[in-house]
Structure 1
Amino acid sequence: MAWRTPRLAIDGIELAAPTDGELRGIADPRDDAEEFVVDLRTGRHEGGFSFPDQ
């Protein structure tokens, strides 16, 4: 395993096809959806659900 992201969603994600080394998606698409993007080289991410302990 090269990397692991912190938890990005409470219950379910919707993923788009990876492009330009990034994976984009929507966290919890049935509720208050939060978009996120993950760099597939490093595992760094932006967006997703904000958990209080992260």
Structure 2
Amino acid sequence: ALVASAVAAEQVLDLVERGVGDFHFYTMNRADLVFAVCHMIGIRSHEAEAAGSAAA
């Protein structure tokens, strides 16, 4: 699962560098992988952001 997340994150970052700005992920009942990809590319949930700012 870690390899799949890393490869997907690399592909997304490559697409961003090429000008793609919008993405849609199909989770196929594997939301944990999409969550990991989002985390790797710097996208955090609102709950995680709120928890982080509350801890600061």
Settle same-fold status: TM greater than 0.5: no
TM-score by length of 1: 0.22
TM-score by length of 2: 0.21
Between Structure 1 and Structure 2, the one with more strand by share is: 1
Structure showing greater Rg: 2
**Bigger RCO of structures 1 and 2 (CA < 8 A, at least 6 apart):** 2
